[in-house]
Homo-oligomer: A and B are copies of this chain.
């Protein structure tokens, strides 16, 4: 590739930038970034890119555009770049929710242009270009979305792109994507946020400090619940139907747990607690985590 444009250069965008540079995937990287604070950081970090908003000038010569902003920003930016886009330009995004954003893209994007959606399963509770890393995607899954009208040529170019960056690529449709990630990512984040909120409400009610004793479990959730609020609001709003179903199933199971505890149902509760251990083993076997015990960090 010759020229790549990264739109939104936070944690993910700047990691892609570093990775492209490291693997020599493109000759030149342009960055469009609306946050002044991020622009200052990018300059201070001397990330090898040209920061620009001159879409008219750069778009005709681009091979690849990657949207790395929160989902809620897509529409505005599409309307800005639409008239300069060419059918040959490959466009992708790294958003965590797909069905709704693909519908919006279809509605707003110039009809002759293809958009091929990606979702690299990588990230952290921190945001901003200072936290990016060239190896962020190494051995991580990257989901590529394939629908009826997907441009096969673009899909293949993106498959190779993510592989070069170090990802393991898997292809599925947007419906399956949103169902899976409502359960493996969106619900866990929502639950973490909700647990920290519940503890805060409880602390106020009880009028004595409890956060200082959070090492017994709450601490680990609070890390996840410190993730970027704009990004997560957009994910929750976009994947609302699947997440609502996941919440309902979660509450149903929680009620059953409560019943087991209140009735001291030994058999039922041990079954629950043992089965989750099996899932843990599966997760380690599938290399989604390591088998090293955690006694608290630092």
Residues of B within 8 A of A222 (CB): 276, 279-280, 283, 289
Q: A136-B295, A213-B180 are in contact. Are A276 and B197 (CB under 8 A)?
A: yes
Tell me if A269 and B216 are in contact (CB < 8 A): no
The size class of the interface chain A forms with chain B is 35 or more
Q: Which residues of A from 158 to 192 have beta carbons under 8 Å from B?
A: 176, 179-181, 183-192
Q: A240-B262, A270-B233, A289-B297 are in contact. Are A220 and B224 (CB under 8 A)?
A: yes
A104 to chain B, nearest CB (A): 14
Q: How many copies does the complex hold?
A: 2
Tell me if B282 and A211 are in contact (CB < 8 A): yes
Q: Which residues of A from 243 to 298 have beta carbons under 8 Å from B?
A: 243-244, 246-247, 249-251, 253-255, 257-258, 261-262, 264, 266, 269-270, 272-277, 279-280, 282-283, 286, 288-290, 292-298
Tell me if B190 and A198 are in contact (CB < 8 A): no
Q: Does A199 lie at the interface of the complex (its beta carbon under 8 Å from any beta carbon of B)?
A: yes
Tell me if A194 and B225 are in contact (CB < 8 A): no
Residues of B within 8 A of A197 (CB): 253, 272, 275-276
A271 to chain B, nearest CB (A): 9
